[in-house]
A and B are shown apart, each in its own frame.
Chain A
Amino acid sequence: EPEVTQTPSHQVTQMGQEVILRCVPISNHLYFYWYRQILGQKVEFLVSFYNNEISEKSEIFDDQFSVERPDGSNFTLKIRSTKLEDSAMYFCASIETVHGYTFGSGTRLTVV
């Protein structure tokens, strides 16, 4: 069964450092997403990406965040200057239709 691959599975970074979280969506999917889940809290939408541009973003997705699809297969989330409160699980997802979400297994980001 096709899957969404995320790397790394766990990243520890110092506050103020830049991090890039990587995702390989399912190849024939057209819509890509990043979500995050702070420990003990609900899953929150960050951004959706379609046709090589952001289609929607949440209030969380401020100027510190950016997304890119640099080579037609990878889909990355960059956080420019990490803060302690960025510590969370970050899930990438891709879909053909809204009834067919496939989430990656996530990257646990720990900011120290």
Chain B
Amino acid sequence: RKEVEQDPGPFNVPEGATVAFNCTYSNSASQSFFWYRQDCRKEPKLLMSVYSSGNEDGRFTAQLNRASQYISLLIRDSKLSDSATYLCVVNPVRAGGTSYGKLTFGQGTILTVHP
């Protein structure tokens, strides 16, 4: 099983649509979870951290289900500028419980928002 698995898409949606991305992770001891955004040939940029209680940042809502090892991202009222690759990212924990901040990335889900 891949450490972090995402549906690669692509998702093609019209402006204003709501779109949801899903992600699963294999390391049940993982500590921290994130959604990053990556534009073509650019560096990943943090979109939002994901907390067990679920969290929202404007049009973006993230959910975490530790029991199912499942993370989701919901984007409401899509904008053209939301077109990018969305990366599900996990901070795994090494055997022994230490973490030096290493991130494990999913393959990414490509989103294209069209007029």
Binding site for B on A (CB under 8 A): 31, 33, 35, 41-45, 48, 50, 55-56, 89, 91, 95, 97-99, 101, 103-106, 108
Contact = CB atoms under 8 A, between A and B. Distances in A.
B40 to A, nearest CB: 11
Contact of A43 (B34, B94, B105): B105
B41 interface: yes
Contacts of B45: 103
Given A98-B101, A99-B32, 20 more contacts: A42-B106, A42-B107, A42-B108, A44-B105, A45-B103, A45-B104, A48-B101, A50-B100, A55-B100, A56-B94, A91-B44, A98-B32, A98-B99, A101-B46, A101-B101, A101-B103, A103-B43, A105-B43, A106-B43, A108-B41
Contacts, number: 55
Highest count of chain A CB atoms <10 Å: which of B32, B38, B87, B105: B105
Contacts of B32: 98-99
A43 B101 contact: no
B69 interface: no
Interface residues of B, number: 24
B1 interface: no
A97 to B, nearest CB: 8
Given A98-B32, A99-B32, A99-B49, A56 B102 contact: yes
A48 B43 contact: no
Interface of B: 31-32, 34, 38, 41-46, 49, 87, 91, 94, 99-108
A42 B46 contact: no
B100 A56 contact: yes
A95 B43 contact: no
A92 to B, nearest CB: 9
Highest count of chain A CB atoms <10 Å: which of B49, B101, B105: B101
B48 to A, nearest CB: 10
B106 A48 contact: no
Highest count of chain A CB atoms <10 Å: which of B44, B91, B94: B44
B70 to A, nearest CB: 19
